[in-house]
Amino acid sequence: MRSFRSFFCGQGIGRAHALLLTLTLLLAGVAAGNAVAGECPVPARGVFLSPQLSVLPDSETDIDLVAARRLVAAGKFVALGERTPSFGFRSRPLWLSLDLPAVAGDCESLLVIEQPRLDRVDVHVFDQGHESQTLAMGDALPFAARALPHRFINLRLQRPAGHRLQLLLRVQSSSSVQLPIWLHSEASLLRLTHEEQAGQGLYFGILLALLLYNFAVMVSIREASYFYYVIYVASFGALMLSFGGYGFEYAWPRSPWFQNASLPLSIAAVLGSSVAFSRSFLDLDRMAPTVSRLAKLSVPLALCLGLPALWPPFLLPVTIVLNAAMVVFSVLVTVGAVLSAARGFRPAYYFLLAWGLLIAGGIALPLSSFGLIPRTLVTEYGLQFGSAAEMLLLSFSLAYRITLLRNERIRIEREARETLEQRVAERTLALSETALRLGEANQRLAEISLRDGLTGVFNRRYLDQNLPARFGECVERALPISLLMIDIDRFKAINDEHGHAIGDDCLREVAHRLAASLREGEDFIARYGGEEFALVMPGADSDEAAGIAERLRAVVAGTPIRCEQVSLSVTISIGLASLAPATVAAQADLERRSDRALFEAKRSGRDRVCTA
């Protein structure tokens, strides 16, 4: 009996051991399946990939991923060579191609672009002809979306063993497009930027010390030059935080919108404060009155140039204008300093020396931004070197200037009191005239911005702004509304056969005939894009709109269009959609229906009106 129990106990223990071994092997398999691949080996300073890039020429950049792959296969991408790519400011996306060699084992690499100011870079990874990863990086995404929390935009690539990878990059940005692309491990990236981080800490430490010291002096002596200098240093610090990506990393990591807007805003603040400081420090009212008047106008102009950056559609044009304004404002300040020095104002000599250090360090930045010179260490950090030296020297120059001008101030104040009323009147008049001219210019610009430059009718922007308003009025008044989508038939053939100049004349004449046939009142026509127009008719029901549409079709088709000795028989297709009465929820449906009706008119043979 004892041996019988021993046998079964031994069997139970054996089964328990077997079960434990089985569970151990299963857990080990799961752990191995879930293990994260290690980092791919790279040199200590990473691998510079930019020389291996190929770019799609500008004439073919407005494409999708499928077309980009087809063009890569057709050899349409052009190798860039050994330089760091710098493409300047671009309104359209940029497509690039990059091949990564195979690796011995499954691993990960950090793809890093040493340019913290790019809005968005979409990376499509193809493994043996199939898309294996779709990734994105840039400051249009929250900072937390980066694979490694670093000011340089980066993402993590999965690299299977033995597989070559092809990368297609789509780059779009409101900042200058420069693409120093590297392949890193976490250790190599942090090692590469360790000394740079220390230098940046020293730079911002100098700015902070100068800011606090001169702020204390400003509060103590209440000197205007110190006030402008403090604003100038603070603005420059904000510019460097935004320019270098440190602001996005540490100050506003959850606000991609502000990261994009902060660069043009800080540039505008630097331009305005630098001109204001220069005018005050150089005593331009006395030494160079003409330059002083220009400087006074430049300060509000700089701020006005920067404010539109708060609206994302204006980021690119505002950034381009502000980069160009750097050169103009620098010339203005330099001329003022030279004139002051030529007329014996001693502080101007020190100012010219300090200003020269900034110009020497910073002139490469706008040239690099526009793609006129390659991106190098000097172009990327020269502005910081020059600005630190400039601000240190200016701080000492301010103290010297205060001592030098103490006695002069008594005389200036006496003369100022004697002529105060006259100067106030003159300046008030000048400012009033300037404000009037600016108002008139702004009104003209606003009108121009809402008109199509070729045809003279309203543009797509006007349509997008005003269609909801007209729709809302019809909803409030329980009125019908109709929308006509109009397309010139076979317009591409006109361009191909007769040239774009004839095509432009044809567009103008068709737009003129359409506009001349509108009802009086709130109807308006806008160029929708290419050879398409949109006609909005508040208060018109389906029957009335159909009659008008047929009349428009007949007006265009009835008389040939004469263009430079060429007679063109032109027809139009019209898609009509109406709502009676209009409802708030149906606006988008109205646009879709009119577009479908236009498609039906085209499909049914053109030169006709179709109603949805």
User: What are the residue numbers of the active site?
Assistant: 531
* C-alpha to C-alpha distances, 61 to 56, 67, 320, 414, nearest whole angstrom: 6, 10, 20, 65
As given in the structure block, the two tokens for residue 57 are 């020429």
CA distances from 405 to 273, 351, 399 (A): 22, 15, 10
| Cα dihedral 252→256→259→260 (10° resolution) | -170
> Which residue type does 558 have?
G
CB of 589 closer than 8 Å to CB of 582: no
Dihedral angle over CA of 101, 104, 110, 113, nearest 10: -20
For 72, residues 6+ apart whose C-beta sits below 8 A from its C-beta are 54, 97, 166, 168
Q: Whats the size of the chain, residue-wise?
A: 612
Burial per residue of 527-546, b for 16 or more beta-carbon CB atoms within 10 angstroms, e otherwise: bbeebbbbbbbbbbbbeebb
Rg (CA), the chain: 33
User: Phi and psi of 176, rounded to 5°?
Assistant: -65, 135
The owner of tokens 């002139």 is: 363
H or E stretch at 24 = helix 2-34
> Residue 205's CB: how many other CB atoms inside 10 A?
10
465 to 262, 426, 472, 597: CA distances (angstroms): 26, 41, 12, 23
Contact predicate 389/424, CB 8 Å:
no
Using CA atoms, how far apart are residues 112 and 103, in angstroms rounded to an integer? Answer: 18
Alpha helices in 517-586 (DSSP H): 542-558
Of 527, 523, 538, 543, the C-alpha closest to 609 is 543
Candidates 476, 498, 485, 490; CA nearest to 526 is 485
DSSP string, 117-168: T-SEEEEEEEETTEEEEEEEESTTS-GGGSSS--SSEEEEEEE-BT--EEEE
Contact in structure between 495 and 506 (CB atoms under 8 Å) = no
**Is there a contact between 592 and 580 (Cβ–Cβ < 8 Å)?**
no
54 Cβ partners below 8 Å, 6+ apart? 72, 77, 78, 79, 80, 96, 97, 98
3-state class of 192 per DSSP? helix
Element (H or E) spanning 607, and its range? none
CA proximity to 319, closest of 119, 95, 113, 462: 119
